[in-house]
């Protein structure tokens, strides 16, 4: 009897971007950038100022369209879609500065973000279904804001606002969370707790974090893949120790060669 070798089907990437290029008035902000992300990954993207990190997130969310290249999310070509259509597919973004509804409570902020949300008025004044309420309390537990559920979001500390915003992405049921510099402006303790929150979400959620704070990067990356962008393209990719010891990475961060 002859045994047949069964090869597992390769798993498709959650997000696959290939050969992206984007110029602004002749300046090439993104150059032949390719990026592949597996479902459940927690990927950190680092790079010096002006490396193209924000522009890359703008390309994923449809805020900016590339001049050339392809972008597939769950095997669907998302380049022809507008920002709202891409958001509806399940790509959620958290900007560096928190954008919560400051005059609404923490609980209301999460209601307003629920997947398929029904517009501000309907969201706040129509009945929240028991299953939705359960989900909100689950999220409040995850983001450790249960005791602040009835506080106005505007009264929260900076770190808490950032956690609320991550909770809002969870309420949207985002499949891919794009998180831009979550540790900016945080105390060391808040930064550490943010790292713990992101680590607790990894696996079940797919997350791309842009970050400068290397202590934080080491906390969340551990042996996960880190992508280094430089001049609009991927300079290096690998475990955090690997990229931190890469001569080219040291050179672009320090502006000189580490060893001659
Ligand atoms: N709309 C625009 N018009 C012109 N130039 C732009 C535009 N958006 C970005 N750029 C340029 O593209 C380059 C990449 O910018 P981007 O903001 O993506 O970098 P970054 O890696 O996010 O930097 P930082 O860490 O400082 O936020 C920069 O040189 C920036 O000036």
Q: 137-162, pLDDT tens digit by residue? A: 999 999 999 999 999 999 999 999 99
Check: complex ipTM more than 0.90: yes
What integer pLDDT is reported at residue 259 of this predicted model? 43
Tell the burial category of 12 from Cβ atoms under 10 Å away from its Cβ (0-12, 13-18, 19+).
Answer: exposed
- Mutate-to-test residue for ligand 1 from 26, 28, 29, highest number of ligand atoms within 8 A of CB: 29
Pocket of ligand 1 from Cβ distances under 6 Å: 24, 27, 29, 47, 49-55
- Mutate-to-test residue for ligand 1 from 50, 61, 230, highest number of ligand atoms within 8 A of CB: 50
Ligand 1 centre to CA of 42 (Å) is 24
Atom of ligand 1 nearest to the CA of 56: 18
Instruction: Assess contact for 225 and 41: CB atoms under 8 A.
Output: yes
Strands in the chain per DSSP E = 15-24, 27-37, 42-46, 68-73, 76-77, 91-94, 176-180, 206-210, 226-230, 233-238
Phi and psi of 54, rounded to 5°?
-65, -40
Residue that wins the pLDDT comparison between 222 and 151: 151
Phi and psi of 35, rounded to 5°?
-155, 130
- Examine the pLDDT at 8 and tell me if it is beyond 80: no
pLDDT, tens digit (0-9, with 9 covering 90-100), for 30-43: 999 999 999 999 99
- Across the range 8-22, mean pLDDT stands at 89
DSSP class of residue 4 equals P
Strands 27-37 and 15-24: antiparallel
For 228, the token pair is: 């280094």
What integer pLDDT is reported at residue 145 of this predicted model? 96
Atom of ligand 1 nearest to the CA of 51: 21
Q: Whose CA is nearest to atom 5 of ligand 1?
A: 24
Spacing of C-alpha 164 from chain mean position: 15
Mean pLDDT (the chain) is 90
C-alpha 259/C-alpha 250 separation (Å) is: 10
C-alpha 120/C-alpha 250 separation (Å) is: 48
What integer pLDDT is reported at residue 51 of this predicted model? 95
Residue that wins the pLDDT comparison between 206 and 6: 206
DSSP class of residue 152 equals B
Atom of ligand 1 nearest to the CA of 52: 18
Kindly report which listed range (92-101, 130-139, 224-233) carries the lowest average pLDDT score.
92-101
What lies within 8 Å, CB to CB, of 38 at 6+ separation is 11, 13, 14, 206
What lies within 8 Å, CB to CB, of 205 at 6+ separation is 40, 170, 174, 175, 177
Q: What percent of the chain shows pLDDT beyond 70?
A: 90
> Per-residue confidence at 62, pLDDT binned at 50, 70, 90?
very high
Q: Which CATH number is associated with domain 15-254?
A: 3.40.50.300
What integer pLDDT is reported at residue 260 of this predicted model? 36
User: pTM for the whole thing?
Assistant: 0.90
Ligand 1 centre to CA of 210 (Å) is 14
Q: State the residue for tokens 């990894």.
A: 202
- Mutate-to-test residue for ligand 1 from 28, 45, 47, 52, highest number of ligand atoms within 8 A of CB: 52
What lies within 8 Å, CB to CB, of 16 at 6+ separation is 35, 36, 37, 70, 71, 72
**What element of type H or E holds 216?**
helix 214-221
pLDDT, tens digit (0-9, with 9 covering 90-100), for 178-199: 999 999 899 999 999 999 999 9
Ligand 1 centre to CA of 224 (Å) is 26
């Amino acid at each position: 009897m002859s045994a047949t070798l069964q090869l597992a089907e390769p798993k498709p990437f959650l997000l696959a971007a290939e050969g992206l290029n984007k110029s602004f008035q002749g300046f090439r902000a993104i150059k032949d950038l390719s990026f592949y992300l597996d479902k459940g990954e927690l990927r950190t993207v680092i790079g010096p100022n002006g490396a193209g990190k924000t522009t890359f997130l703008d390309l994923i969310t449809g805020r900016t369209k590339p001049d050339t290249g392809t972008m597939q999310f769950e095997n669907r070509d998302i380049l022809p879609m507008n920002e709202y259509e891409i958001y509806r597919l399940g790509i959620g973004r958290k900007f560096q500065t928190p954008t919560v509804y400051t005059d609404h409570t923490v609980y209301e902020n999460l209601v307003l973000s629920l997947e398929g949300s029904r517009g501000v008025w309907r969201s706040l004044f129509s009945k929240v279904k028991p299953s939705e309420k359960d989900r909100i309390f689950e999220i409040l537990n995850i983001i450790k804001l249960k005791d602040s559920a009835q506080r106005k979001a505007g009264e929260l500390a900076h770190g808490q606002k950032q956690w609320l915003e991550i909770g809002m992405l969870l309420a949207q049921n985002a499949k891919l969370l794009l998180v831009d510099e979550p540790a900016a402006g945080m105390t060391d303790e808040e930064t550490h707790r943010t790292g713990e929150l992101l680590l607790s979400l990894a696996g079940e959620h797919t997350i791309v974090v842009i970050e400068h704070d290397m202590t934080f990067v080491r906390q969340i990356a551990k042996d996960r893949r880190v992508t280094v962008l430089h001049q609009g393209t991927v300079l290096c990719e690998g475990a955090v120790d690997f990229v931190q010891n890469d001569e080219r990475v040291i050179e672009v961060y320090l502006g000189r060669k580490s060893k001659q």
